[in-house]
């Protein structure tokens, strides 16, 4: 075990230190008992000379005491380490490198973490969840079901099910299964593996199959989550078959999520069909019970707004006593948020659903560099411009960007910024 692993045994809230202390008291009393017996033996019996040699009688007593303490500590640590490996290899045979303390940490510390509901979809949501799962297992991902392109769109059309793509991404982000299992879940077939399978993700097919076996998509998600030991819940925002349309400033309209974002024309309004989808009840319950509600990050018009156009979702957010945080993107998105700053993202939400009581805090990236983003992204960094927000909205600026890919957030920095807000404001 590394020194970090050893000190992890002393973390607060694990309910371990009291038992370690009790074991130490037991060992001390055992040592005292043996010492009394040895003293009695020395007084009664005459031992051969070699006994004195091997028990280091030729050294001062204090040196002998220190040597025996060091020997005892070494033997105890080695025994604990080997016991740790033995227990884990027996109880969790596929996790060869897992430590007992890691399992205890996950089951106790993360279980007692803040309750967080995240609303969105796509890469932004999975990035955030990947960071948050290291701090709490009380996570609920509430995701859009408007996707109608690629593998998800094909399965949605052929099997009449909710699109599984964003569900798959969230499952992969929250799964604690072996990396190889997660990689297999994300595997995408190519043309050489058959025309019918080409473009399909194995995870999408598994979710679709599990939905068929269990009788519904929500039951299928729950079953797959158990198989991959997902930390948290993944819920669709609605079970209705919804479709979104973008109405542009030039008067034209784009129908279907997969068609939005392909043209540079700016979007004036987003609508959803049916006009008032029914919110999934479990999703509204999770929102109202959360300590913190996070909206975003993600594609503004295709991942975030489709959830907020469901009246029941918005009503639950406003009804909740949770602290509501909107995370702005770190880069603009071609065809959706061309030249947008942080306030522009907020204003779009406000214009569609009225952000009063919907957002308390805006969390935005303030780490900007002069070097432009790569041309392939056709994007620009999002400027925070905190002074443009209404007085009742608190704007918090943090370094949130991934330096290796400045088009995305850094999952660890984003999660730490959110936890900083939670503990600073005594939300939890």
At which of 58, 87, 105 does a domain end?
105
Q: Which two tokens stand for residue 362?
A: 């805006």
Q: What is the pLDDT of residues 161-172, one digit of tens each?
A: 999 999 999 999
Q: How far apart are CA 337 and CA 301, in angstroms?
A: 8
- In this model, does residue 18 exceed pLDDT 80? no
218 shares its domain with 355: yes
Exposed, middle or buried by CB within 10 Å (0-12, 13-18, 19+), for 394? middle
56-60, 117-121, 246-250, 359-363 — which is least confidently predicted? 56-60
Which residues pair with residue 293 across a beta bridge?
A: 117, 324
132 shares its domain with 238: yes
DSSP H/E element including 293: strand 292-295
At which of 85, 105, 125 does a domain end?
105
94 shares its domain with 227: no
Q: What is the pLDDT of residues 180-203, one digit of tens each?
A: 777 888 888 887 666 778 888 899
93 shares its domain with 114: no
Are the C-beta atoms of residues 406 and 331 closer than 8 Å to each other? yes
What is the count of structural domains for the chain?
2
248 shares its domain with 397: yes
What CATH number is associated with residue 268?
3.40.50.10680
Question: What are the backbone dihedrals phi and psi of residue 8, each rounded to the nearest 5 degrees, phi first?
Answer: -65, -25
Exposed, middle or buried by CB within 10 Å (0-12, 13-18, 19+), for 322? buried
235 shares its domain with 186: yes
Cis? peptide before 391, omega within 30° of 0: no
At which of 49, 74, 105 does a domain end?
105
CB contact set of 262 (below 8 Å; sequence gap of 6+): 254, 335
228 shares its domain with 175: yes
pTM for this predicted structure: 0.79
115 shares its domain with 82: no
202 shares its domain with 91: no
161 shares its domain with 21: no
115 shares its domain with 223: yes
Integer distance in angstroms from the first to the last C-alpha of the chain? Answer: 32
Q: How far apart are CA 186 and CA 133, in angstroms?
A: 19
98 shares its domain with 223: no
Range of the domain at 281: 109-424
């Amino acid at each position: 075990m590394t020194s970090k692993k050893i000190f992890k045994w002393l973390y607060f809230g694990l309910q371990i230190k009291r038992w370690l202390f009790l074991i130490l008291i037991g060992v001390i009393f055992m040592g005292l008992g043996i010492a009394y017996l040895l003293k009695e033996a020395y007084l009664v019996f005459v031992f051969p000379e070699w006994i004195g040699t091997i028990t280091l009688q030729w050294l001062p007593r204090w040196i002998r005491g220190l040597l025996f303490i060091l020997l005892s500590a070494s033997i105890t640590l080695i025994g604990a380490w080997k016991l740790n490996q033995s227990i884990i290899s027996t109880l969790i045979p596929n996790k060869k490198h897992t430590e007992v303390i890691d399992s205890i940490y996950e089951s106790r510390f993360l279980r007692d973490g803040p309750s967080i509901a995240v609303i969105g979809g796509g890469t932004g949501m999975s990035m955030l969840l990947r960071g948050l799962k290291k701090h709490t297992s009380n996570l609920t991902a509430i995701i859009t079901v408007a996707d109608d392109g690629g593998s998800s769109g094909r399965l949605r059309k052929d099997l009449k099910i909710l699109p599984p793509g964003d569900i798959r991404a969230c499952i992969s982000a929250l799964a604690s299964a072996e990396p190889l299992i997660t990689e297999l879940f994300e595997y995408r077939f190519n043309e050489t593996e058959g025309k019918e399978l080409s473009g399909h993700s194995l995870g999408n097919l598994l979710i679709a199959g599990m939905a068929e076996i269990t009788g519904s998509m929500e039951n299928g998600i729950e079953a797959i989550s158990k198989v991959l030991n997902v930390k948290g819940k993944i819920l669709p925002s609605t079970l209705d078959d919804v479709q979104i349309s973008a109405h542009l400033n030039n008067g034209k309209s784009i129908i279907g999520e997969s068609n939005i974002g392909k043209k540079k024309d700016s979007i004036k309004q987003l609508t959803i069909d049916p006009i008032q989808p029914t919110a999934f009840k479990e999703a509204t319950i999770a929102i109202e019970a959360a300590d913190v509600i996070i909206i975003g990050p993600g594609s503004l018009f295709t991942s975030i707004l489709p959830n907020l156009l469901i009246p029941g979702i918005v009503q639950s957010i406003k009804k909740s006593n949770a602290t509501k945080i909107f995370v702005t993107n770190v880069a603009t998105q071609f065809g959706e948020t061309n030249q947008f700053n942080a306030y522009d993202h907020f204003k779009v939400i406000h214009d569609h659903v009225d952000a009063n009581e919907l957002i308390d805090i805006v969390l935005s990236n303030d780490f900007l560099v002069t070097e432009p983003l790569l041309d392939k992204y056709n994007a620009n960094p999002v400027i925070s411009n905190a002074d443009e927000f209404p007085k009742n909205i608190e704007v918090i600026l943090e370094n949130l960007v991934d330096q290796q890919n400045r088009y995305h957030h850094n999952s660890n920095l984003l999660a730490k910024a959110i936890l900083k807000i939670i503990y600073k404001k005594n939300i939890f």
